[in-house]
Amino acid sequence: GEAPVDANKPTRRHDNTMAAVQDLSLGASGEAPVDASSRSTDTPLEAIAPMVDALRASFDAGAVRSNDARIAQLQTLQRLVEENLEDLVEAVHTDLGRHRSFTRKTLGGCSRACTLAIDNLSTWTAPKVTLQSDGVTQQVRLTPRGVVCIIVPWNFPNPLAIKPLATALAAGNTVLLKLSEVCPTISNQLASLIGRYFDPAIVNVVQGAVPQATEVLAQKYDLIFYTGNSAVGRIVMQAAAKHLTPVVLELGGKNPVFVTESADIDVAARKIIDGRMKNAGQFCVAPDYVLAAPAVYDALLEKLKKAIVEFFGQDPRTSESFSRIINARHTARIASLLKDHGGVLEAGGESDVSERFVAPTIVSNPRLDSKLMQEEIFGPVLPVLRMDTEQALKFVRGKPEPLALYVFGADSAAWEPIVDVVRSGGVCINDVIVHMLNETLPFGGCGESGMGSYHGEWGFKAFSHERAVMVVEANADTPARYPPYA
């Protein structure tokens, strides 16, 4: 889930599906580049189709068919991460200003995703017998899809390239990665490393902006895996439809946080601020707004403000733990949301486009029809509203399905009625974000927040075809099946 774009901007061309990309001024990441393409290494357009052809030839030749071959590729990917850890950390710091220890943790998760796939591959690939009787054996086999395309966003480019890549390789596919032009330091580095560690007929990389994204999506794949925003998600689906290619879309949305009367307010406030401000709010599963029960609203608001100071000091601009916005355009977009919202500025509000800085900000009770409450914020701004449960449910259920739903409450009587009626990609009770860090849970959206899921075994299944296989004994025959019929 990335920053929202105007999906209704009219197109000027109708000769191909990707005209919409041109007219929206979007790259595959859903972001208009700001001098990024001049700093990244663009793939020649004429090289893209041959890349895909080579990947298909390699797949057809069975280069990654056996479990041993798949494990070898996973081990290569794991070495790439572990042998270049500090270089990867520095690249993220350059593009996003993210604290190095935080990036090390995310890259550690990438290595663990490889270990999980290696350790469980024989179980995942084993045929699942569903019936065995009377001379018939039925089973389901998970077979590779073929050549898959993974389109990587800019906000967490390493894990959102490496984790899907790990499960795609575990499933026996060859892979084309389209990296984001908006984080050129990270993309240049990752492209270089993949070129060093992998056979380009098994994993290859495309870099660049709109022209490269257009050409990538013009090719035929057996699955497209896209992480980004819903506007570009629709464009990806249009391109995929030309070839009847299935898609997995990991999108975003406005993730609500319900804070009920029975919540532990101290703990809730700290977790909400931590989740909202990680990566300066550029996180698809970050809390987008808080709906607090009237009985706890005032106390929660004060503790949220206190948590900002505790985490980032009196001047967050000087805190090494607070990231920067990806570029000037996004900084200006987030700052514009703080105008005409009709609420009260409780904390923060400062911004500096030249430094790509937006302060950790809290706005209380903005208008429900304001841009702040209608658009995915994708930045370090947290609206907090006083609402009883009935009002809050009516408001949330009237909006598109979020990628994540968060509820704070002491017991199931507090949160189950909310979870039961609000549709969302995932749910986390008494915490935020941590559910999507767990490789033993599926991660994905529904409705406007996406389709399909991945992580761990669910990622393996997403990049596989569930193939029904029935084996009948050679001499089994039933005369009643043949005409003439009785």
CA nearest neighbour of 282 among 98, 37, 22, 91: 98
Residue 289's pLDDT is what? 98
Q: What is the pTM assigned to this prediction?
A: 0.91
Strand partners, 96: none
CA nearest neighbour of 172 among 71, 64, 68: 64
Q: Which position among 2, 31, 181, 250 bears the catalytic label?
A: 250
119-143: burial string, b at 16+ Cβ within 10 Å, e else: eebeebbeeeeeeeeeeeebbeebe
Residue 133's pLDDT is what? 87
Residue 428 designated active-site = no
**DSSP states along 167-211:** HHHHTT-EEEEE--TTSHHHHHHHHHHHHHHS-TTTEEEE--SHH
Residue 30's pLDDT is what? 40
CA 303 to chain centre: 30
Q: What span, in angstroms and rounded, lies between the C-alpha atoms of 413 and 56?
A: 53
CA-based angle 235:239:240, to the nearest 5?
A: 115
Which run of H or E residues covers position 275? Answer: helix 265-277
Q: Looking at the chain, how many residues does it have?
A: 486
Q: Which position among 149, 183, 284, 428 bears the catalytic label?
A: 284
Q: What span, in angstroms and rounded, lies between the C-alpha atoms of 163 and 152?
A: 11
Q: What span, in angstroms and rounded, lies between the C-alpha atoms of 190 and 194?
A: 6
Q: What span, in angstroms and rounded, lies between the C-alpha atoms of 473 and 160?
A: 46
Residue 39's pLDDT is what? 63
CA 430 to chain centre: 22
Residue 1's pLDDT is what? 55
Residue 360's pLDDT is what? 98
365-376: burial string, b at 16+ Cβ within 10 Å, e else: bbeeebbbbebb
Residue 250 designated active-site = yes
DSSP letter, residue 321? T
Q: Spell out the per-residue pLDDT of the chain, length 486, in tens.
A: 554 444 333 333 333 334 334 332 333 334 433 443 446 689 999 999 999 999 999 999 999 999 999 999 999 999 999 999 999 999 999 999 999 999 999 999 999 999 999 999 999 999 999 988 888 999 999 999 999 999 999 999 999 999 999 999 999 999 999 999 999 999 999 999 999 999 999 999 999 999 999 999 999 999 999 999 999 999 999 999 999 999 999 998 999 999 999 999 999 999 999 999 999 999 999 999 999 999 999 999 999 999 999 999 999 999 999 999 999 999 999 999 999 999 999 999 999 999 999 999 999 999 999 999 999 999 999 999 999 999 999 999 999 999 999 999 999 999 999 999 999 999 999 999 999 999 999 999 999 999 999 999 999 999 999 999 999 999 999 888 999 998
